[in-house]
Amino acid sequence: MIRAVATPDLAGMRERNRAARRIFTRIMLHVLWWDIVLAWGPLKRLRTPAGPRWARLARQYRAQAERLGGVLIKLGQYAGARVDLLPKEVTDVMADLHDAVPPAPAPAIVAQLEADFLLPLRDLFRTFEPAPIGAASLGQAHRAELPDGRRVVVKVLRPGIDLIVENDLVIIGRFIRLMKRIGSIRRRVDLDVLANEFITVTRRELDLLAEGRSSERFARQFSGDPEVYVPKIEWSRSGGRTLTMEDVSYVPIGDVLGYEATGVDRRRVAGKLMDVYLDQIFRLGFVHADPHPGNLFVQPLPIQGEPATRWSSTDYTTTDRINLPHTANRPFRLIFIDFGMAVEIPEHARRSLQTYAVGIAARDAYTIVQSYVEGDLLLPDTDVDQLERMTAAMLAKFPHAFVGQVRQADLPQYGQMFNEYQSLLYNSPMKIPAELLFVFRAMGICSGTVAAIDPGFDPAERFTPLAQRLVADELSLDSDRLKRFVMFGLRLPTRLDNLLTQIERGKLLLRTGDPDHHRENLRSRGRAASQIGVAVIAAGVMACAVQLGPHGEILTTPTGLTVLAVAVVALALLRGRR
């Protein structure tokens, strides 16, 4: 017998709506009071520092999001990625907002499975564990066995989550419409674009069939790499609200002691993870954008003479690890799961990212800034020279920051530098598309994971071989020429390209040292140009009034035409004098 699917509790939904409206109203009043009313004239003296105020407000939002779950958590994570628009105090609070909430009751999950496939649970799976191995705001995962005995993980959307998501999006939409009425915000941020990006990303995560297709695309992308693996999708047990995949619960990538106990070298794991993400972002253009440790596993592999079955079990407990034989430099493979946040990078953006990678490899601030220009990430009035100086200063002190890694010891100096360039960063924010934001977020999470695995690992060192591969892909140069090209300073003739790009987009600005002096020069040159133009016109008219013979002699012309030509020339010269 197939059970009825539970629907969201109406009383609970009303309470949820009230709580969400309260937090958004608090944000709205905060902006109106501190950034509108107290920004006027003498009232500015009453304003307190913005950083602590925004951090406090962000903590209040985070607490409500963790309590309510749903789209509010997703919105907080999205805000944590918008380092280009929001204050650092907000993004810092939201950066580690975890999507972990209490699971939905097992009977409701079972009822939804049976309704989706129109079969009782016993016909779908030989066994199904009611306790989930993980629960998030939109769905949760359960272990199960197929009728043929294969072990799988079943990812199921929460019952009624589609209604909750749409309800939350309505509340968020109302809040955005109110914020659009504030002129200072409307001029600085295109809220409609941000809202559309967020809605698109959120609804995409509700489509588990799309997630399954992204998983298979990623698998094809790395099909030739024996050190990368993606679980196979069981399409016969998958649908819009259910995704069944091979169980690959090996050692979590953060459990360094677990895989080192078998002889897997942590440094090789760190290097491989970084290389895989660099290839995704800068070469392939399709990125697993949620690389937190819960979505990555390390599978130790057998060496010659060891039974393969011992290494294929998903029941990989701590006791098993202690009993498994240790072999130096044991082979392994990285396993990727959860492709709900897979991002495709457009071709033009991929080009700018490749220029960025070359700039990192060459430690060249100009090339890095040029990548921003190529990607159309800068607003028209951005001071590119000052941005280049800031980039050069950061490259000299914090090269790891450009790959998403800032070390704890560098934080005080890092904050000082941001304070120094605060005006530039605030007045000329980058207009970064959502897909690149999630890519940068993924790079930051990856760099943090790599640093936790191997604290001595330097991600910046991986950019020289990456730049070599990029140029090899583009130019098909031989290896020796390529190494010389990169190692002795890969720098494209982008000054001219930058100039042409600015002219093409109508953004070329001419700066002068003495405005009055140059203004007079321009006037005099304008008068000279006008006189030259008049002379040309006069010569043309005179030519019309004269006929030349076959040997260059001047022939007579009609008297009326001659008089008319002389009159036109005289008037033109008089006009030119004026």
Computed over every residue of the chain, the mean pLDDT equals: 75
What's residue 129's pLDDT? 95
Q: For residue range 178-227, list pLDDT tens digits in order.
A: 887 777 676 666 677 777 777 887 888 888 999 999 999 999 999 999 99
Average pLDDT over residues 81-91: 71
Q: Which helix (H) or strand (E) holds 47?
A: none
What is the C-alpha separation between 368 and 365, in angstroms, rounded? 5
Evaluate whether 439 touches 289 at the Cβ level (below 8 Å): yes
Higher pLDDT, residue 95 or 524? 95
State the first-to-last Cα distance of the chain, in angstroms, to the nearest integer. 99
Q: Above 80 in pLDDT, residue 144?
A: yes
Q: Give 557's pLDDT tier (boundaries 50, 70, 90).
A: very low
Q: Which of 231-240, 281-290, 379-388, 498-507 has the lowest mean pLDDT?
A: 498-507
Q: Give 538's pLDDT tier (boundaries 50, 70, 90).
A: very low
Q: Which of 125-129, 288-292, 471-475, 487-491 has the lowest mean pLDDT?
A: 487-491
Q: Which two tokens stand for residue 494?
A: 């982008």
> Cα torsion for 358, 362, 366, 372, to the nearest 10°?
30
Average pLDDT over residues 57-84: 80
Sheet bearing 228-229, strands edge to edge: 228-229, 332-336, 296-300, 251-252
What is the C-alpha separation between 65 and 427, in angstroms, rounded? 30
Q: Give 107's pLDDT tier (boundaries 50, 70, 90).
A: very high
Q: Above 80 in pLDDT, residue 317?
A: no
The DSSP secondary-structure symbol of 245 reads E
Q: Give 37's pLDDT tier (boundaries 50, 70, 90).
A: confident
What's residue 547's pLDDT? 45
What's residue 422's pLDDT? 54
Higher pLDDT, residue 403 or 320? 403
Q: For residue range 345-402, list pLDDT tens digits in order.
A: 888 888 888 888 888 888 888 988 888 888 888 877 777 888 888 888 878 777 666 6
Q: Which residues of 533-549 are buried (b: 16+ CB within 10 A; e: fewer)?
A: ebeebbeebeeebeeee
Higher pLDDT, residue 128 or 361? 128
Which residue is it, tokens 């921003």? 372
- Give just the sign of the alpha carbon dihedral 534, 535, 541, 542: positive
Residues contacting 364, CB < 8 A, separation 6+:
358, 489, 491
Average pLDDT over residues 290-316: 71
What's residue 442's pLDDT? 84
Evaluate whether 332 touches 299 at the Cβ level (below 8 Å): yes
What's residue 148's pLDDT? 93
Evaluate whether 438 touches 252 at the Cβ level (below 8 Å): no
For the chain, state the CA radius of gyration. 32
Q: For residue range 17-30, list pLDDT tens digits in order.
A: 888 888 888 888 88
Q: For residue range 455-477, list pLDDT tens digits in order.
A: 888 877 787 788 777 777 666 54
What's residue 567's pLDDT? 52
Helices (H), 375-504: 384-397, 411-420, 422-427, 434-453, 463-475, 479-487, 494-504
Counting residues of the chain whose pLDDT is more than 70, the rounded percentage is 67
- Give just the sign of the alpha carbon dihedral 299, 301, 306, 308: positive
Characterise 70 by phi-psi region: left (phi > 0), alpha (psi -120 to 50), beta (else). left
Q: Give 420's pLDDT tier (boundaries 50, 70, 90).
A: low
Whole-angstrom CA distances from 184 to 31, 52, 187, 317, 558 are 10, 21, 5, 56, 70
Q: Which helix (H) or strand (E) holds 364?
A: none
What is the C-alpha separation between 448 and 178, in angstroms, rounded? 37
Evaluate whether 549 touches 560 at the Cβ level (below 8 Å): no
* Entry pTM: 0.69
Count the Cβ atoms, other than its own, within 10 Å of residue 557.
Answer: 13
CA-based diameter of the chain, in Å? 117
Evaluate whether 554 touches 546 at the Cβ level (below 8 Å): yes
Q: Which residues of 245-255 are buried (b: 16+ CB within 10 A; e: fewer)?
A: bbbbbbbbbeb
What's residue 353's pLDDT? 87
